[in-house]
Structure 1
């Protein structure tokens, strides 16, 4: 019996969802040999490989505009950032985003219209090496050049910097660079707003507990970027995850504001059945949502290939290869509090911005407030959360 008879990759949303999970199970079986029937199916079907698309900048911008999945976080974050940087003449934005700075042009537009005039903007991005969808068919140097030119067209001076750093080590190189820049800039005696914008990328960092050195000897030429600040010549070992270390390192930089936006689901279980259930109970949403507005065509193929990649990573990969490790909002909130941040509320202007954006999309999308946080919903189900944090 052929693969297509088990589920329809071009059927309704439920069939397409089932197809994605069957592909993932087959991929896992071929690696482990744990199921002879699935392995035989894989051998009989050579077209099971997921063909993800590499987007041009124009394609990616257009693709993101299709749904509020990313635009929700963009709208909420940009409104909050604009308020947080009021009065600063220099703003350093660290953009840890899975969408390759697609949020930045709308932020530049908003900053350009600031009553007191635009600040000088320093934009730092992590040049992640992992091929995690959506993927961009441009180098970060090309992307930076386009952003600098766009900012210039809005009379905004933008400095673009790429730091080779990835989620694999908790962005340790990025933290080290930020700390060096902060020390150098402090000598100038001017104030600078430091904005950390985390958009659906932190969940790619490992959440397993590691034994790490917290303090390094003063004579060590390569201090641990995760140490708070060199304070003694003693060293100690502590247990922490890359996520915990990263957030604590961020806190030591005393940022003006941290924006954390991510998908509200839990893919962290070490048990495959639990992960499969969690993924199925969440990833029906993008399939169902796309059914409402996007029929057959290239954009739908690209959209669903990216979802299939996520499903396969959750189901068929283990260890460092399994990077889709979503955590629910409640757990991120606790992580931020443990790192000595406190949450702040989105303003009514920010809420209005988000509501206005949602009005541009199909019925079914909604917005709800949970204490200080905002949550994007689809037919009442939580999809993406947005939170704001300042040093406690």
Structure 2
């Protein structure tokens, strides 16, 4: 029997065939309709492929999560996916190629780099001894531009200490050594006195302490958080902000993707619909940005698999040795951040730089300004906010 459930605005259910079948399957799981679950899982398995069109790809990645949810196999599946991903991690060159190609065809990551770098440079202007604490998943790709900006300042070129914080799930010792070597080489080329440090050995970001970061009293400090705070357990995010506040930074930049997998966690259907909405946008963006046979695109899509399983099929209490990724919307982040920080508006120069960046990419991208009580900038894909950038001070 055809499902007659109506779709609300922004609800992906009732759209293309993959979304319709996936939503029907999710509803069957919520209703514990065993016969319907088996039938829909079989249909999705027959129609899905990680190498097909957007519908086939969505069906493939969400099928794994729905099967894991239905069989209560979620946590084991999640750990298996992480283990497979760890085994398949390539060389520095292959990782760099994927990141740089993504930045070439889409502003998804470069948007946050430009906004954050602009806020950091303005907050540290005129200082001679700078320290940036980088808590992010960018593999330092945002810093060459900042080093170049420091090298071309009119006054004395400052000293820069960059401290990169990596947790167990992000850590690759060989990769970080290669990044360190290349960053130091580029800093020498730019004529910027440079020190590169790595804080590693952490299982979770909430284990990070003030002592780990070795901040000196005469340093002008900036803290850069791009795509990493979602790895902190929701209940521990306030404690992380309290620790960062205690460092007394000049500025804290926060960039996160615009999706809510937190408040919807206790309502499976709402969480499923939000997850499908977000990844539908993401996969559509990848499809229109990359060629259909792009290996880099396939790598980016496969990276989504474990997160989808984690969000939809894992219990709230994950193993203490694993990090999950629970995204929140800008309004939720703002409520947490405002307990410890005040918002810093982006200057007209930073806004102009961000607009100039978007002009380099295909049509469909636009810039959204702060909405209501939530300050910052929004990267918009076809009028939907997908990434939020903000700047804060104690």
**What TM-score comes out, normalization by structure 1 length?**
0.78
Matches within 5 A, 1:282-293: 282-293=278-289
Query: In 2, distance between residues paired with 1:308 and 1:92?
Result: 35
Select the residue among 165, 174, 180 that pairs with 1:144: 180
* 1:63 equivalent in alignment to 2:64: no
Give the number of equivalent residue pairs.
Answer: 332
Q: Is the 8 A contact 2:257 2:386 kept in 1?
A: yes
Matches within 5 A, 1:11-50: 11-29=52-70, 31-32=72-73
Q: Which residue of structure 2 lines up, in the alignment, with residue 246 of structure 1? A: 240
Query: In 1, distance between residues paired with 2:284 and 2:53?
Result: 9
Shift of 1:279: 0.7
Q: Is the 8 A contact 1:314 1:322 kept in 2?
A: no
Q: Which residue of structure 1 lines up, in the alignment, with residue 195 of structure 2? A: 159
Q: Which residue of structure 2 lines up, in the alignment, with residue 359 of structure 1? A: 359
CA offsets per residue over residues 90-131 of structure 1, 9 Å max, x none? Answer: 110000111221111111111111111321011111131115
Q: Which residue of structure 2 lines up, in the alignment, with residue 237 of structure 1? A: none
Q: Which residue of structure 1 lines up, in the alignment, with residue 350 of structure 2? A: 350
C-alpha RMSD over aligned residues: 2.5
Q: Which residue of structure 2 lines up, in the alignment, with residue 299 of structure 1? A: 296
Q: Which residue of structure 1 lines up, in the alignment, with residue 273 of structure 2? A: 277
Q: Is the 8 A contact 1:93 1:196 kept in 2?
A: yes
* 1:198 equivalent in alignment to 2:225: yes
* Structure 2 segments unaligned to the other structure (5+ residues): 1-41, 78-83
CA offsets per residue over residues 229-280 of structure 1, 9 Å max, x none? Answer: xxxxxxxxxxxxx210110111111100000000011112244333222111
SS in 1 for 2:131: strand
Q: Which residue of structure 2 lines up, in the alignment, with residue 212 of structure 1? A: none
Matches within 5 A, 1:1-392: 5-29=46-70, 31-32=72-73, 53-54=89-90, 56-57=92-93, 58-65=96-103, 66-131=105-170, 138-164=174-200, 166=202, 168-173=204-209, 175-178=210-213, 181-182=214-215, 185-186=216-217, 191-208=218-235, 242-268=236-262, 269-294=265-290, 295-318=292-315, 319-320=317-318, 321=322, 323-339=324-340, 341-370=341-370, 372-391=375-394
SS in 1 for 2:179: helix
Cα distance, 1:55–1:368 mapped onto 2, change above 3 Å: farther
Query: In 2, distance between residues paired with 1:52 and 1:141?
Result: 19
CA offsets per residue over residues 189-237 of structure 1, 9 Å max, x none? Answer: xx321000000101100113xxxxxxxxxxxxxxxxxxxxxxxxxxxxx
Query: In 1, distance between residues paired with 2:238 and 2:101?
Result: 33
Q: Is the 8 A contact 1:52 1:306 kept in 2?
A: no
Cα distance, 1:382–1:96 mapped onto 2, change above 3 Å: same
Q: Which residue of structure 2 lines up, in the alignment, with residue 43 of structure 1? A: none
Q: Which residue of structure 1 lines up, in the alignment, with residue 38 of structure 2? A: none
* Structure 1 segments unaligned to the other structure (5+ residues): 34-38, 40-48, 209-241
Query: In 2, distance between residues paired with 1:257 and 1:362?
Result: 32
CA offsets per residue over residues 349-381 of structure 1, 9 Å max, x none? Answer: 111111111111121111110154100011111
